[in-house]
Structure 1
Amino acid sequence: MKSYQKSLSQLITLCLVSLPALAVSADHRYFEPSQTDFGGVGLMQMPTGRVARDGEFSFGLSFNADYEHYHASIQLLDRLEATLRYTLLPNRNYGSGSFGGDTKYTDKGIDFKFKLFDESFWVPETSVGVRDLGGTGLFDGEYIAATKRVGPIDITAGIAWGYMGNMANLRGSQTSSNKECGRVSEYGGKGGEFDIKRWFTGCASVYGGLEYQTPWRPLALKAEYDANDYTGDFAPLEQPPKSHINIGALYALGDWGRLRASFERGNIWTLGFTLRTNFNSLQQEWLNNPAPVYSPNTSRDWSEIARSLSKNAGYSDVSIYRDKQDILIYGKQTHYRNAGSGYERAATIIENAVTGASSFRIIDQSKGLSLTETIIDADKHKKYANQEQIGLTFDETVSAVQPPNPKNSPETEVLASNYEPFSYDFAPTLAQSLGSAEDFYLFSVGIAGNVLYRFNQNTELSAQVHLNLYNNYDKFSHTVAPGDSTQLKRVRTLVRNYLSDQPVRLNNLQLTQFDQLGDSVFGQFYAGYLESMFAGVGAEVLFRQHNSNWALGLNANYVKQRDPASQFGFFDTETYYDMRDKRNYRTQTGTVTGHGTFYYRPQWTWIEDLELKLSAGKYLAEDKGFTINISRQFKSGVKVGAFATKTNLSAEEFGEGSFNKGFYISIPLDTLMTHPTVNRSVISWIPLTRDGGQMLNTKYNLYDLTNQRYQKSEYSLAD
């Protein structure tokens, strides 16, 4: 009780001493929540009740003599914050000898914060959070925090459990044998599991602090009462704490970055830096072709019109037909994620060249599959272009309908076509892994050359050759850590061999046939070297109705594992002897793998553009189970998602991490480039490379190819 009274007295004293000094005029309209040393909105060591704006993303790092924190935080929803963190311990190595003896110990952590109450006149902004969810327990803890704004000052009070509350000024007592007041600190299985039973147990402490926005807009000051006594730290500290009062300063580098400096525990300096953006407001200025101006003429050079539709409206493989009084345009949109931009440009181009047509019909295609048909009323569009009707918008001139099945399309007159059967490109590649025992950052950089030849709209032969420029995967000397199971077939942990053994490698060589099996049924059939590690044959079928927010898919494959020492060979025996590990392992000499997948996009008012995927089936290592994939797309088109796979493998059989999981960010390249494009780049983070729960990496996915079927997707007119 005395400890609690003393702590509360110190906290009150901090507030009373600081408030008069800080209560000067300041434009607190510029106040924005900032990141802690660990990542996530807060003060320095302790979180606050605040959350960032919806879509806010930050990447930061913090350094002191005891810890190095690398963290990324995102406000997934208006009320939900998620943080991914790596912590390096300079005073402790990962292991000993050849397995991590020269690498700093690295701890992975995932944090979540949920806002319970918005701030009002009487109610502070209040949140509950979990730090180091599913980690190894080095920094795990929970908290409830409330924050209230008083002029330019943000005042926080909270209760912390676990690592953050180890001072135990509210509840619990520590002993020499138990520094966590009876809290269970061992992690379950092989790590990575969600140990819910220990939440809000063990030591509990009150904490608090202040954040002050100074009259000088870039500068903010912080002070906090730290409820952690650091006696249970995994790594020995440079110096024992001398004080529970931490003070710090924050300097804003415009809207994109912040510098942080703080004096903590009475004896240690911590420096940090944060980059930030918002995925809802992220955008880029394009050096784009100007939109065509409405100027009717009698020129009917259909080949030139087809080229204009490609160059200005963003349609490739354009075919133009006449059907009675309608003009039909078939093509694939390659420029504009907001399809309305392409439709409006296309309508103006056609209107300038054609008279007497009742409507223009644009049929969006992908791989010869008809996805959606947009009908543009020629008379209404003329009034819109000429501004003859007040208030008429372009959206009112169009309507989206189920496109005709190509197999049942009526006889039409072909006016023009600019179909190109052959294409190629080159692109840089980066494969990476974080947190390995051999080195914190393993990577491979190279160049991928892609070649595509289309025999027709539905049949193609594709190939990809990868040139390895540089990689450090030769450090990946232990693909299976000591204690992990050696009974599971090594379908992914041989990644080092595929990336480092050959400077030039054929990643893909396959023949693919696409087919529209019905108005709402799509299929693909493929055979060849399907990815860098596997070859075989397979098929996929997708049922997806026009403008429906759900779909159902099924794929089945027979594959064999490729021999990394050969360009075209396969493993012909199940036993593989690794010269580096000096062990025998099992490999995949042939198996059937496949999954059924249910796709769903909820139409909830409280969250926009959420996508759920549930897959169940058999994986490459012949384990069986299911994968849950949840993602959200923000207004800029950036998509953030996470997945988890649970199979019939036990935690011991799976190995470190207990089950397969990961995160990814899909970034539309038109937010980074100076011209519009529908292409994307995906950055994924998977904590550990393991063999359980691994899917085949097929070149195409029918659900992604048919995105335009859903009117409320990023391709819709409503965007």
Structure 2
Amino acid sequence: MAGRRGGASVPTLILASVSAIAISAPALAETVRPSLNLYGMTGLIDMPSAQDQPDAQISLSYSYFGSTQRRNFSFQILPRISGAIRYSTIDNWGQNDEDTGVYNPNYDLFDRSFDVQFTLLREGEWRSWTPAIALGFRDFLGTGVYSSEYLVATKTIQDFTVTAGLGWGRLSRTNTIGNPFCEVANSFCDRDNDFGEGGKLSADTFFHGQNVGVFGGVEWRTPIEGLSLKVEYSTDDYKREQKSPSSDFEVNSQVNVGAEYRIRPGIIVGGYYMYGSSVGFNIALSGNPLRPLVPPDFGTGPLPVNPRAANAPMGTNWASNPQSIDQLASALAEILNAEGMRLEGFHAQPGGRTVEVAITNNRFQSDPKAFGRTARVLAAGLPASVETFRITAVQDGLRTTTVTINRTDFENEIARPNAGQESWDTLEISGATPHMPDNAWRREAYPDFSWSLVPAPFLTLLTPGDPIRIGLNIDLDTNTYLAPGLFVTANVSQPALNIPDDPGPSETALPPVRSDSPRYYSGYAPKIPELSLNYLFKLNENTYARLSGGLLERMYGGVGGEILWKPVDQSWGVGADINWVAQRDYDDPFGFDYYDYNVVTGHASLYWDTGYYGLEAQIDAGRYLAGDWGSTFTLTRRFPNGWAVGAYFTLTDVTEDDFGEGSFDKGVSLEIPFRWTVPFETRANNTIALTSVSRDGGAQLTQSNALYPIIRNYDRNRLERNWGSFWQ
């Protein structure tokens, strides 16, 4: 229900996806995208521009010059809104020691920051000659090291892109004019740069300061394909980076020049001469959820749909003959298995006019495609007397949604040009009943066992002293199904490559419910992230429930339960979960003695599919692992192909001082479907969490079998958005 935030190290195959950008087959042709600056946002070199990326574009970039390194993750959130999360290292920043107060000139700063940019006007949108105009906020949710706002305009003139803008805060250090907002109120002339622990919205500093900087530059796309040259005037003087006596970075000029080369769509490298003193470097990897890395291989086509013959036998005696039912269900199960579906149950109503099948989709990322393939199998294999197909989707043992299809309509629609819309208009969708009738045919396969053994690269970010670490685990994931909805999950992880050592206990004013998470990922001994018994079931057509017990996640074991009310025709749902958990030992998979800590945690949750660009909102309110009370707000953009990019923040009654760096919990999550990177069908997804820092306030329990993610894709709104794949 609430809370699925991981620890400091998150097993993920995002690295495989990023690498695939570089090694995949030749990419589909695309329009040359605007380039990224050293902050990972669309721009010149160090300055921003008013251009935006294609909708949903995702980029990972790394830049370096002088004493500064930046690791950026950026996303075109909506067609006119882009954002970035950044982790920077600034060598020899210099700072007073917190314990002794003695100044340390060799202190290296590890800084986290968030950016957002709004496109106010696209190029040529108002008049053919008008430029693009954007309003941006840099480091608006960080420590304030890069805090700045800007209003920028960009115009393309043949092969040249010209940019000019006004900057406040850090972008107002040189080439300045007076701040026009000072004429509105004297308070605008003062800018407070003390952000405390950071991580707070710095709205009270927006557009403040005595001066405004005027910056600009030009990008030239040369006749050499993929090569661009850039020059800019920067209004950032990097004064703070030069403060420490140990710093060897100097600013001798405000003019930066550089060259960038697009190796292929998705990979750009750049070299620069920065501030008259330093050589800089940038590499950016980009992909788009709306465009797969490799062309799809549709494999074997679906079964043909042939209308029943006018003289087809319409006898119905088979519907009351158990032997006929068993033979028919077994034959359908074999055909469906070849299509990637598993037949869980089969029931023919008396009279032989209506048949219900329950299926688990093991193959297709798109569930409407699974419904369509199943309908084709039923049309080919059921007796001619059957006029109504009822197809119920089963996920993790839960009966979710039933799609009712009229067979005659189905047979007639296949040849029509608007078959997709007609099929949607003529079907019925309802919440599935908790169980099939007692006399239904059921798959006899319990106990049933499934497993996977996969390499699991992981990316450790945002850890001071070790800002980025790439390593490898080998993960064995198993599920033993004892009955419908009842199963044991067992996961074993073997650290294999570049595993960190135990960093020791964290310094925290709260119970170390998450700040000690790096200890649980350290060392080469095998780990057991999960060993749990779970029971998922329905109370009625709209209400789902779950009971779980055992080692629930890497850091906690205990017992818990969850309930969810989500009608299939409704865009929102509500739920609640409650758990009693104890903190596991970091060095003993079955021990609970080291921390001797337990807590009751739980949340009430509201889920809402907004229907706008795939945006999904979630609010969780309740008690967290450290015993604090508060709420988590999550906004996620989900794509029909399984991609999802989300951001969240949590506010609780933990004070800023007790929480520590970052002031409150916040972060970004990313879900990547394997289907995006490979030519064959698969439902496998991988998740990475980019958190600002692992802290104890607002920490939630990770639950691998939470109900809403299981049933999310089976309501009317999501099925309709993806129904175009029904006939594929």
The verdict on a shared fold, with TM-score over 0.5 as the criterion, is yes
Where structure 2 has 5 or more consecutive residues not aligned to the other structure, the ranges are 1-29, 180-187, 313-323
Alignment check: 8 A CA contact 1:193 1:657 kept: yes
1:183 partner letter: R
**2:369 maps to what in 1?**
341
Higher RCO, 1 vs 2 (CA within 8 Å, ≥6 residues apart): 2
With over 3 angstroms needed to count, the CA separation of the structure-2 counterparts of 1:413 and 1:244, relative to structure 1, is closer
- Is the partner of 2:253 in helix, strand or coil? coil
Equivalent position SS for 1:489: coil
CA contact (8 A) 1:662 1:687 kept: yes
Q: What do the CA deviations read for 1:493-533 (whole angstroms, capped 9, x no partner)?
A: 22233223671233222222222111111101112221122
Give the secondary-structure state (helix, strand or coil) at the position aligned to 1:500: coil
Shift of 1:441: 2.5
SS at match of 2:501: helix
1:591 has 2:596 as partner = no
Counterpart code for 1:119: E
Q: Which moved more, 1:66-75 or 1:38-47?
A: 66-75
Deviation at residue 317 of structure 1 after TM alignment: 4.7
Report the equivalent of 1:579. Answer: none
Residue equivalent to 2:315: none
> Which position in structure 2 is the counterpart of 1:199?
206
CA displacement at 1:97 relative to structure 2: 12
The answer to whether the 8 A contact 1:426-1:450 is kept is yes
What aligned pairs does 1:250-649 form with structure 2 within 5 A after superposition?
250-282=260-292, 284-287=294-297, 289-294=299-304, 302-312=329-339, 314-323=340-349, 324-356=352-384, 357-385=386-414, 387=415, 391-393=418-420, 396=423, 399-407=427-435, 409-410=436-437, 414=441, 421-442=448-469, 445-474=472-501, 476-477=503-504, 479-480=506-507, 485-486=508-509, 488-500=510-522, 503-571=525-593, 587=595, 589-603=597-611, 607-649=612-654
Query: Is 1:119 matched up with 2:123?
Result: yes
Aligned to 2:112: 108
Superposed CA RMSD in Å reads 3.1
For the Cα contact (< 8 Å) 1:664–1:682, is it kept in 2?
yes
Counterpart CA distance in 1 for 2:546 and 2:409 is 39
Provide the rounded CA distance (Å) in 2 between the counterparts of 1:325 and 1:612.
42
Farther-moved stretch of structure 1 (523-532 vs 669-678): 669-678
So what's the TM-score if we normalise by structure 2? 0.84
CA deviation string 1:71-90 (max 9, x = no partner): 12111111111112222224
Letter in 2 for 1:70: R
Does residue 1:154 correspond to 2:161, yes or no?
Answer: yes
- Match of 1:4? none
1:464-496 CA distances to partner (integer Å, 9 max, x unpaired)? Answer: 22223345432624622xxxx43x111122223
| Structure 1 counterpart of 2:17 | none
Deviates more, 1:684-693 or 1:199-208: 199-208
Quote the Cα distance in structure 2 between the aligned partners of 1:474 and 1:593.
30
The answer as to whether partners of 2:644 and 2:671 remain within 8 angstroms in 1 is: yes
1:418-446 deviation per Cα after TM superposition (whole angstroms, max 9, x unaligned): 67622222233345432323322346632
2:503 touches 2:519 (CA, 8 Å); kept in 1? no
CA distance in structure 2 between the aligned counterparts of 1:201 and 1:416, rounded to whole angstroms: 68
CA contact (8 A) 2:241 2:249 kept: no
DSSP-derived class of the 1:345 partner: helix
Within a 5 Å distance, the mapping from 1:162-177 to structure 2 comes to: 162-167=169-174, 169-171=176-178
Alignment of 1:60-71 (within 5 A): 60-71=61-72
2:85 matched residue in structure 1: 84
Matched residue, 1:75: 76
**Equivalent residue, structure 2, for 1:9:** none
In the superposition, relative to structure 1, how do residues 377 and 612 fare at CA in structure 2: closer, same or farther (>3 Å)? same
Identify the residue that residue 130 of structure 1 maps to in structure 2: 137
Cα deviation for residue 538 of structure 1 reads 0.9
Inter-partner Cα distance in structure 2 for 1:433 and 1:338: 31
Cα drift, residue 111 of structure 1 = 1.1
SS across alignment from 1:217:
coil
Separation in 2, partners of 1:631, 1:650:
27
Picking from 693, 700, 717, the partner of 1:712 is: 717
Kept in 1: contact 2:446–2:483 (CA 8 A): no
Q: Residues 525 and 569 from structure 1, CA distance in 2 versus in 1: closer, same or farther, beyond 3 angstroms? A: same
Residue 461 of structure 1 aligns with an amino acid whose one-letter code is V
2:156 is aligned with what amino acid?
R
Q: Which residue of 2 aligns with 1:581?
A: none
> Residue by residue, what CA displacement relative to the aligned partner does 1:381-419 show, whole Å, maximum 9, x if unpaired?
33345x3x5654485276142144134x44655387667
| CA distance in structure 2 between the partners assigned to 1:220 and 1:442 by the alignment | 32
Gap change, CA 1:395 and 1:683, over 3 Å in 2: farther
Opposite residue 146 of structure 1, the aligned amino acid is: A
Secondary structure at 2:292's aligned position in 1?
Answer: coil
For the pair 1:657 / 2:662, whether they are aligned, the reply is yes
Q: Is the 8 A contact 2:136 2:151 kept in 1?
A: yes
- CA offset at residue 30 of structure 1? 5.5
Asked if the contact 2:434–2:539 (Cα under 8 Å) also holds between the matched residues in 1, the reply is: no
Measured in 2, the distance between the counterparts of 1:263 and 1:280 equals 35
Matched residue SS, 1:259? strand
Decide whether the 8 Å contact of 1:212 with 1:221 is kept in 2.
yes
The alpha-carbon distance between structure 1 residues 232 and 303, as it changes in their structure 2 partners (threshold 3 A), is: same
Alignment partners' CA distance in 1, 2:421 and 2:84: 42
Matched, 1:689 2:715: no
Identity %: 25
Task: Give the direction of change, closer, same or farther, for the CA distance of 1:325–1:270 in structure 2 (3 Å limit).
Answer: same
Greater shift after overlay, 654-663 or 706-715? 706-715
**Candidates 218, 233, 242, aligned match of 2:241:** 233
Query: Equivalents in 2 of 1:209, 1:107: separation in Å?
Result: 27
Offset of 1:716 from its aligned partner? 4.1
* TM-score calculated relative to the size of structure 1: 0.85
SS in 2 for 1:712: helix
1:16-35 residue pairs with structure 2 within 5 A? 32-35=33-36
2:687 partner amino acid = V
Secondary structure in 1 aligned to 2:192?
coil
Gaps of 5+ in 1: 1-28, 173-179, 577-586
Contact 1:381–1:394 under 8 Å retained in 2: no
Moved more, 698-707 or 562-571: 562-571
Q: Cα distance 1:223–1:513, how it changes in 2: closer, same or farther (>3 A)?
A: same
Deviations 1:291-349 (A, max 9, x none): 2332769997542321221221x222532322231222111112222222222222222
> What residue identity is the alignment partner of 1:643?
Y
**Residue in structure 2 matching 1:216, options 217, 220, 224:** 224
- Deviations, residues 9-36 of structure 1 (Å, cap 9, x unaligned): xxxxxxxxxxxxxxxxxxxx96531111
Cα contact 2:242–2:248 (8 A) shared by 1: no
Distance change (3 Å), C-alpha of 1:610 and 1:47: same
Task: Look up the SS of the partner of 1:406 in the other structure.
Answer: coil
Amino acid paired to 1:341: K
User: 1:545·1:709 contact (CA, 8 Å) conserved in 2?
Assistant: no
Secondary structure (helix, strand or coil) at the match of 2:51 reads coil
In the TM superposition, what is the alpha-carbon distance from 1:613 to its structure 2 partner? 0.4
The one-letter amino acid of 2:452's match is D
Alpha-carbon distance change, 102 to 337 in structure 1, aligned in 2, over 3 angstroms: farther
Q: Between Structure 1 and Structure 2, how many residues are aligned?
A: 658
Task: Give the 3-state SS of the residue equivalent to 2:423 in structure 1.
Answer: helix
Change (3 A) 1:704 1:390: closer
Question: 1:702 & 1:520 partners in 2: Cα distance?
Answer: 12
Q: 1:426 to 1:159 in 2, by over 3 A?
A: same
Check conservation: 1:593, 1:622, Cα contact below 8 A: yes
Secondary structure of the structure 1 residue equivalent to 2:567: coil
Q: Is the 8 A contact 2:504 2:519 kept in 1?
A: no
- Tell me, in whole angstroms, the C-alpha distance in 1 between the residues paired with 2:421 and 2:250: 68
